Structure 1
Amino acid sequence: MRRETSLIDLIFPGDTNHHGTLFGGAALAHMDKVAFIAATRHAHVDFVTASCERIDFAAPAHLGEIVEVTGRIARVGRRSLTVEVDLVAEALLTGERRLCTRGRFNMVSVDRDAAVPPLEETEPGPATAGVRMVELVFPDQASHNHILFGGHAMAQMGKAAFVAATRHCRRTVVLAASQRLDFTSPVKVGEIMEIEAAVTGTGTSSMQVTVDLWGENLKTGERRKAAEGVFVMVALDADQRPTPVRPL
């Protein structure tokens, strides 16, 4: 099983067209980003998108749903590789998932002297509980010191906590508290932040979600824990009142 790279996001009004579904351009941007991260993780060199093969939009992703974009290396050449990317929508309350879009992105190394390593099959690792999602750090998400702005890191960690809690209870959930949040290492512009979130405790209507944020250097593959926190999410019923959740 080859290593997969997954990006998880929520569909907000700014991402939709007049039909209330995910705008095609936003879907393609997510898919291209995942293709770039997957390619760079494989070879640890800079890539650009050379082309994308036929991309079919088979089903819509609706406002308020989770979108999960997954990329895997399918072919390797001397300076190029191909990444297969799937975009799947997930309904928050039912968990129903459907494949919306699939495509192949051809990436080319900008370093003419760098050879792309061959594709190797690896044994599948242990299943990871909870949510794992990646993002790139762009300049508009950074402080004047060119490191990830703390507020943006907290927003991404809160999003991961929301997805993990929603998947646990399949109810509308809201953030009730952030119990603790520690920043231990900076994440720089151009690096990956990978977030892992899992429900680690439950109350009557509340869920404790532990979230770790890792920084990853695309050129070296070096990873370090950059932040960790604990978020308390509360499940709500149709009348916006706290409602019981299943125990952990």
Structure 2
Amino acid sequence: MSADNPGPVTRLVDIVFPGDTNHHGTLFGGVGLSHMDKVAFIAASRHGRVDFVTASCERIDFAAPARLGEIVELTGRLVRVGRRSVSAAVELHAEALLTGERRLCTRGVFNMVAVGVEAGATLPPLQPDGGDDGVFRMVEMVFPQQLSHYGTLYGGNALAAMGKAAFITATRHARKPIVMAATREVNFTHAIGQGEVMELVPRVEATGRSSMTIAIDLWSEDLLAGTRRLCGQGSFVMVAVDENQRPVPIDG
């Protein structure tokens, strides 16, 4: 079954760091494809609440590069649902930190197949998107290399994800170079397990002359059960700086 109105959007936002680039200083194509596949998997799993594997991806053309230090934003949404498979349309945009200029780098369709489904069972039909609630959300998968020796998300990796969300939110607000100045408070209340989705919901809580306080809620989502819980909250102080790392006015 397909629909003219695609399903709800799943959004993954990241930063192009040196380890993600090729010898040209732009996002390595394999990293971009990995991000796209991850978004397609999450979108499929949120719909079917069963395990999925990637079966194929339709032609993907890289029309523009994502450069070192830029934000990359990937959006995925289902455009077709069959008995045991779904198709997710994924787009990857790059965003310049200081100007906000965005460019479409690539798009493609990923076909995902449900595995371990009971005989005779079919996937639920595609539901049209109910609209955007205006809340900025970032998702990320929790893979084995991110776990502690307890088998749950390592606290340092959770802090890194929250810090990245704070940086992106502050940069988009100020459109100036941003550094982290302090963490006001971070509390973790529940563990996040392997294979769960980590969802970060950042927002600008307060602004000063050169600083911004970014509040972040950290949620977990069990993709098979569909259950969600608030696992942590934090407050980060981010400061706009010049080329000499001195604070500068946000609106100056």
User: Which stretch shows the higher mean deviation, 142-151 or 111-120?
Assistant: 111-120
1:245, CA displacement in angstroms?
1.2
State which drifts further: 43-52 or 234-243. 234-243
Report the counterpart of residue 8 of structure 1 in structure 2: 13
Tell me if 1:118 matches 2:125: yes
1:127 aligns with 2:134: yes
Q: Percent identity?
A: 60
- Of 227, 232, 252, the match for 1:227: 232
Q: Which runs of 5+ in 1 are unaligned?
A: none
**Any stretches of 5+ residues in structure 2 without a counterpart?**
none
Q: How do residues 1-248 of structure 1 correspond to structure 2 at under 5 angstroms? A: 2-113=7-118, 114-128=121-135, 131-246=136-251
Partner secondary structure for residue 176 of structure 1: strand
CA distance in 1, matches of 2:131, 2:13: 21
Distance of 1:237 and 1:140 partners within structure 2: 36
Superposition TM-score, scaled by structure 1 size: 0.96
Question: CA, structure 1 residues 122+22, in 2 after alignment: closer, same or farther (shift >3 Å)?
Answer: closer
What is the distance in 2 between the residues matched to 1:112 and 1:196?
32
Q: In the TM superposition, what is the alpha-carbon distance from 1:7 to its structure 2 partner?
A: 0.6
What is the letter of the counterpart of residue 153 of structure 1?
A
Give the drift of 1:104.
Answer: 0.3
Q: What is the alpha-carbon distance in structure 2 between the residues aligned to residue 132 and residue 124 of structure 1?
A: 14
Rounded Cα–Cα distance in structure 2 between residues aligned with 1:105 and 1:122? 19
* Distance in structure 2 (CA, Å) of the matches to 1:64 and 1:127: 26
Q: Please give the root-mean-square deviation of Cα atoms over the aligned residues, in Å.
A: 1.2
Instruction: Specify the SS of the correspondent of 2:183.
Output: strand
Secondary structure of the corresponding residue to residue 104 of structure 2: strand
**Deviates further, 234-243 or 218-227:** 234-243
Q: CA deviation at 1:187?
A: 0.6
TM (norm. structure 2) is 0.95
SS in 1 for 2:94: strand
